[in-house]
Structure 1
Amino acid sequence: MSVRMSVAQALTLFLTRQYTVDGDVRQRTIAGTFGIFGHGNVAGIGQALRQLGYEDPTAMPYHQARNEQAMVHQAAGFARMNRRRSTFAAAASVGPGAANMLTGAALATANRLPVLLLPSDTFATRVADPVLQQLEHPHDTSLQVTDAFRPLSRYFDRVERGEQLFSIALSAMRVLTDPAETGAVTIALPEDVQAELIDVPEEFLAEREWHIRRPLPESGPLERTAAAIRGAQAPLIIAGGGVIYSEAETELRAFAEATGIPVATTQAGGGALDHDHPLNLGGVGATGSSAANRIAASADVIIGIGTRYSDFTTSSRTAFAHPEAVFVNLNVAGFDAYKHGSRYPLIADARAGLLGLHDRLGDFRVSTAHADRGAEEKKNWVAEVDAATAPTGARLPGQPEIIGAVNRATGPRDVVVQAAGSLPGDLQKLWRTRDALGYHVEYAFSCMGYEIAGGLGVRRAIDATDDDRDVVVMVGDGSYLMLHTELVTAVAEGLKLIVILIQNHGYASIGALSETVGAPRFGTWYRRYDGESPEFRTDEVLPVDLAANARSYGVDVVEIDPGPSASSRLAEAVEEARAAPTSTLIHVNSDPLVYAPDGEGWWDVPVAATSTMDDTRAARTAYEEERSPQRPLL
């Protein structure tokens, strides 16, 4: 039996009937659809969503956005908060609308987060050719904007004939729900094909369940891995995002407590272990704590759990300095399990792998000396964080003081959201996470502008479960200027965010980095242009009023005036915002030259090998010395 409908109608109806199953949890795989409509999709996907909304308003909720990139960011934030069990679809029109989603696609794939992208394409029949916003390549007339999604997607296909929809849609769902494969999934939809009539098998429209794979470790690799850990003198666990996605926090804590092995976390793994747990040494790597990095420097067995080992995690391969360091990599994806030339890849779900290792290790426990050293390093780092985040009475608080004030004013289950600039590094060092889902820092792609849109995705996930958490978006003025218009979406739908807008009058992160690479704060100040200087370094600060900008969108705005009580008034404002029913933006000026404590990590940013400038030559000399400990692959 079959039903006659348009391709777009068939796809939207199909998506309403897909469910992800993870143990006892069963969720809609596609919770709703974002869409910005124009030629190419308004008469296809747009018409289908409108029709479905009248027939059954709960079947496929439609949400507006103000920017196509932001649609994808919302889907990614929602997916992470749901531990990758559910996401959104995002539909865009031909040409620039589709191209605007490219950054979001890259972010989702880099972070291993499922998002479904439905960019429109030009006529498959080419009956009207070229159409408005179509690319033309004389050497290949089939190439279009949507082809740019190919390297950014974990799955890409184009529905050039209506009958192809069935196999393409099923393949898309397979990738979205596979923890080893997931990322951006793109189905390109030519505008004429969207509106075509096809016979749709009833089986295609039936409810379908997609069970998340939780592979068990094989006995041979498990025994070899356990043996490597039993032989360790100074092991260290690196907990990544895989711990969160597998919901393995309890198993991680039990494993660490039973063995005494200290734990360091990646950005994606923040929250895998509460900040005040005795074995949690904090973040590791370029922006990690001195506690984690000092233990990492002497670790002989590094147990990576659900981490992709970015260069920030490994301090560009300088963090693990033991000459005979061994990597034990527990990961659901073989691609990540084999990194660093590991002789002990354990390809399995994080929770299943931890349970297997815990069982095999028996009464193994680290030496008292190793445990005591970790405890001492943690104690010293906690004291540094206390000092860095305490009120100073300065007229302009530094970012560490701002982070401390916000952290103290939030609830234990509230979620901090961030992505780019100097804040991710400072948050990894200073934010005290008290819940597994309380630390949401997008750092695989570190995309400026993710913060507000991603925060909305987190808010949608919380509201879907009637949770009482607050979402605290921390954003610098540089990232805010990149993508702030989703505040309108928050107002339109009554989605509550608490946005902390830190006014640095420039790019704080790159400013600090440039000081170390021989280009001191070049192009990082927001100042009036002076044609005689290439650096925008005049004393005239731009008369930009970002608080007024946010207020113009209908958001409640609190401005913290500079002064010795700025950080205490900031904390009060956060408490008031938590009590409010609607979104609040809190604007605070900072001193961008006040830095977080040194965590003794390093990041490889090559410096010009030759220069006529003294500061660049000095930076090159320092760079060559700092990269000398880099480990080769083998």
Structure 2
Amino acid sequence: MSSIRLTTAQAVIKFLKAQHTERDGHTQPLFAGCFGIFGHGNIAGIAQALQQNRDFRYYLCRNEQAMVHTAAAYARMKNRLQTLVCTSSIGPGATNMITGAAAATINRLPVLLLPGDIFARRNVAPVLQQLESEHSQDVSVNDCFKPVSRYWDRINRPDQILTALPEAMRVLTSPAETGAVTLALPQDVQAEAFDYPAHFFRERVWHVPRPRPDVGALRRAAEVIRRSKQPLIIAGGGVIYAEATEALRRFVDATGIPVAETMAGKGSLRYDHPLNLGAIGVTGTFAANRIARDADVVIGIGTRYSDFTTASKTAFQHPNVTFVNVNIAEFDAHKHAAIAVTGDARAALEELLPALAGWRAPADYEARARQLHDEWDREVQRIYDIRHSPLPSQGEIIGAVNALSDPDGVIVNAAGSMPGDLHKLWRAHHPKHYHLEYGYSTMGYEIAGGLGVKMAAPEREVTVLVGDGSYLMMAQEIVTSVQEGYKLIIVLVDNQGFKSIGGLSRSLGQGGFGTRYVYPVNGYLPGDELKDDVEELPVDLAENARSLGAAVFKAHTYDEFVQAYQAAKHTEVTTVVYVQVDRYESVPSYESWWDVPVAEVSEMPAVREARREWERKRAEERLF
């Protein structure tokens, strides 16, 4: 048997180059390259291997957490069929990736992480940045990746990659088990050579299946749906990842069942489909939430039922509500004591539809859903057209971007008040029009994620909506976008702090304490009890963006914003449009609730009142 003598790091890169995915007859490389920041722990190993493999593109980024977000966003745009590798040094370089790993795993997105690690031979320990344990010598900071990785391994011998790498690929290409995969690489092992069998590096295609659901489960699901009078579909991210949006549209057209969308599922059905009720749950529309409240059968397709989707288990109030869950993951399919239809979303819809031949939702129920769709569309337009002054409202800015941006483009966001407003208000024209990281709602994801989206779809216009709070968390990948020539339009919305948590704080009777970017008053950080009598911080975020290499336009009014955004569309480099909005002008909540426990005892009357309201709503939570 022939062999090739390579270092462990060289063998890893050579193996990764040979991996491909296939679904529905389309084959493509699994990895589009490697992001990394080099330091001790990977400079002489993975870095050297990348240097001599010029056909496996290396990208220099600015922040280890950001590069994982970029890789995850790339994978999401590619429907989890392609991704990127991320490598870091040991110590803080590695642990910086943990937040990104958590976001990828929670959102079920494949990323491969190769953090450097301490010496496997131990004799030079403790090395720089090594966490010492008096109880074990087999612990490093990379053990922190275990709970946020779908697969984790430490490579202590060069030959261990012969079994570890195929297992890592299995998880990365699994539609049910995917997420972050971490292979911790001790720095001495990376540089150690081994005679690897040549066949280990042959091209391999990982066939991504479309598992067919059980026939009995389909029959039981069809029976329940046929008996329903007020059925509702909840479309989750699984619809989009399975490329099942057309199958969903055909199913809805044939059955008359209305659709509500989760954060990850928004875009599963075009916004103007007459049976699309829009967002559901805490950040939902009155159309979706009213139908959900009375639904007797809830058909969840590709959703994991987060508390925002279920409004903390208060959304579904029909006394005999039954759930039918279509999901590639058995774990999610069985939630809410559902009839579990475990399988690919597209395959399941295609097989469930014939089982419902001749049946349609009651005509009066369908008419009510269509009427609610129309009423909600008018409410969206009302918010778009408010023309609040002197500062514009956030809803107006979203409306302007929705109207002015390319309908084939992508909007990117993650945290703060904008995800809720976008979930309600954004008119999605196609399945990739709306890209929200809300499984982990990671502040700082937006610009890094926008870069990943643009790398995956360079032909699309990519607009990043980011608040000042998230911008200050992680803006440095502007530099990477400039370096690589990937133009982003970044709409930087300044509301002087944390608008979302400020609103939540006020609803809890706490007056926005600790959520504003202002100077302390008499040694006390003011909340919203001092709306005007405060001194703002002398921070110029627009100039900060300019210093990172972006073109910048500043707007003070709605009309100026429209002009600035139009100008940004015609630049050649990443461009930031800065606008300040009214912190207190918010998009309403629409007949929904989120369980945030309020202090049971307090000296503050407003908190005591909020506690009474919480207890009233808490009583509506259900256990299915």
Pick the aligned partner of 1:545 from 540, 544, 548: 540
Q: Give the deviation of 1:98 after TM superposition.
A: 0.2
Report the equivalent of 2:31.
30
Structure 1 position 213 matched with structure 2 position 204: no
Structure 1 position 629 matched with structure 2 position 624: no
Q: Give the deviation of 1:577 after TM superposition.
A: 1.9
574-583 vs 7-16, greater mean Cα deviation: 574-583
Q: Which amino acid aligns with 1:13?
A: K
Q: Which amino acid aligns with 1:525?
A: R
Determine the C-alpha separation between the residues in 1 that align with 2:472 and 2:329.
Answer: 36
Report the equivalent of 2:325.
329
Any unmatched runs of 5+ in structure 1?
54-58
- SS of 1:579's equivalent? coil
Determine the C-alpha separation between the residues in 2 that align with 1:30 and 1:217.
Answer: 30
Report the equivalent of 1:615.
606
Report the equivalent of 1:306.
302
Q: Give the deviation of 1:435 after TM superposition.
A: 1.0
Q: 2:328·2:343 contact (CA, 8 Å) conserved in 1? A: yes
Q: Give the deviation of 1:424 after TM superposition.
A: 0.3
Q: Give the deviation of 1:8 after TM superposition.
A: 0.1
Q: Give the deviation of 1:378 after TM superposition.
A: 1.4
Structure 1 position 589 matched with structure 2 position 543: no
Q: Give the deviation of 1:214 after TM superposition.
A: 1.0
- 1:142-161 alignment, distance < 5 Å: 142-161=138-157
Q: Give the deviation of 1:578 after TM superposition.
A: 2.0
Q: 1:287·1:312 contact (CA, 8 Å) conserved in 2? A: yes
Report the equivalent of 2:192.
196
Report the equivalent of 1:352.
347
Post-superposition CA distance 1:348-397 (Å, at most 9, x none): 10000000110111111011111111112112211111111115151201
Pick the aligned partner of 1:485 from 471, 476, 482: 476
Report the equivalent of 1:12.
13
Report the identity percentage: 52
Pick the aligned partner of 1:112 from 86, 108, 113: 108
- SS of 1:119's equivalent? strand
- 1:189-338 alignment, distance < 5 Å: 189-338=185-334
Structure 1 position 178 matched with structure 2 position 179: no
Determine the C-alpha separation between the residues in 1 that align with 2:353 and 2:563.
Answer: 45
Determine the C-alpha separation between the residues in 1 that align with 2:578 and 2:372.
Answer: 35
Q: Give the deviation of 1:137 after TM superposition.
A: 1.2
Q: Which amino acid aligns with 2:621?
A: Q
Q: 1:422·1:509 contact (CA, 8 Å) conserved in 2? A: yes
Q: Which amino acid aligns with 1:233?
A: K
Determine the C-alpha separation between the residues in 2 that align with 1:532 and 1:60.
Answer: 55
- 1:357-372 alignment, distance < 5 Å: 357-372=352-367
Report the equivalent of 2:443.
448
- SS of 1:444's equivalent? coil
Pick the aligned partner of 1:573 from 545, 564, 568: 564
Determine the C-alpha separation between the residues in 1 that align with 2:519 and 2:388.
Answer: 30
Structure 1 position 529 matched with structure 2 position 520: yes
User: Structure 1 534/586 Cα, relative in aligned 2: closer, same or farther at 3 Å?
Assistant: closer
- 1:370-449 alignment, distance < 5 Å: 370-392=365-387, 394-449=389-444
Q: Give the deviation of 1:534 after TM superposition.
A: 4.2
Q: 1:406·1:570 contact (CA, 8 Å) conserved in 2? A: no
Determine the C-alpha separation between the residues in 2 that align with 1:589 and 1:49.
Answer: 43
Report the equivalent of 2:593.
602
- SS of 1:307's equivalent? coil
Q: 2:85·2:112 contact (CA, 8 Å) conserved in 1? A: yes
Determine the C-alpha separation between the residues in 2 that align with 1:601 and 1:87.
Answer: 36
Q: Give the deviation of 1:93 after TM superposition.
A: 0.3
Determine the C-alpha separation between the residues in 2 that align with 1:534 and 1:609.
Answer: 24
- SS of 1:375's equivalent? helix
Q: Give the deviation of 1:531 after TM superposition.
A: 4.8
- SS of 1:48's equivalent? helix
Q: Give the deviation of 1:519 after TM superposition.
A: 1.6
Q: Give the deviation of 1:532 after TM superposition.
A: 3.2
Report the equivalent of 1:56.
none
Report the equivalent of 1:77.
73
Q: Which amino acid aligns with 2:294?
A: S
Q: How many residues align?
A: 619
Q: TM-score, normalised by structure 2?
A: 0.98
Q: Give the deviation of 1:483 after TM superposition.
A: 0.2
Q: Give the deviation of 1:574 after TM superposition.
A: 2.1
Q: 2:521·2:534 contact (CA, 8 Å) conserved in 1? A: no
Any unmatched runs of 5+ in structure 2?
none
Q: 1:498·1:586 contact (CA, 8 Å) conserved in 2? A: yes
Q: TM-score, normalised by structure 1?
A: 0.97
Determine the C-alpha separation between the residues in 2 that align with 1:457 and 1:514.
Answer: 33
Q: 2:308·2:594 contact (CA, 8 Å) conserved in 1? A: yes
Determine the C-alpha separation between the residues in 2 that align with 1:567 and 1:248.
Answer: 38
Q: Give the deviation of 1:580 after TM superposition.
A: 2.3
- SS of 1:575's equivalent? helix
Q: 1:166·1:204 contact (CA, 8 Å) conserved in 2? A: yes
Q: 2:554·2:564 contact (CA, 8 Å) conserved in 1? A: no
Q: 2:550·2:576 contact (CA, 8 Å) conserved in 1? A: yes
Q: 1:408·1:571 contact (CA, 8 Å) conserved in 2? A: no
Determine the C-alpha separation between the residues in 2 that align with 1:210 and 1:462.
Answer: 23
Post-superposition CA distance 1:567-586 (Å, at most 9, x none): 23322322222232221100
Q: 1:102·1:152 contact (CA, 8 Å) conserved in 2? A: yes
Q: Which amino acid aligns with 1:498?
A: I
Q: 1:28·1:86 contact (CA, 8 Å) conserved in 2? A: yes
Post-superposition CA distance 1:208-239 (Å, at most 9, x none): 00011210011111100111111110000000
Q: Which amino acid aligns with 1:389?
A: Y
Q: 1:236·1:302 contact (CA, 8 Å) conserved in 2? A: yes
Post-superposition CA distance 1:476-501 (Å, at most 9, x none): 00000000000010111111100000
Determine the C-alpha separation between the residues in 2 that align with 1:254 and 1:297.
Answer: 25
Pick the aligned partner of 1:504 from 477, 495, 509: 495
Q: 1:29·1:86 contact (CA, 8 Å) conserved in 2? A: yes
Determine the C-alpha separation between the residues in 1 that align with 2:28 and 2:566.
Answer: 33
Report the equivalent of 2:56.
60
- SS of 1:312's equivalent? helix
Determine the C-alpha separation between the residues in 1 that align with 2:566 and 2:23.
Answer: 36
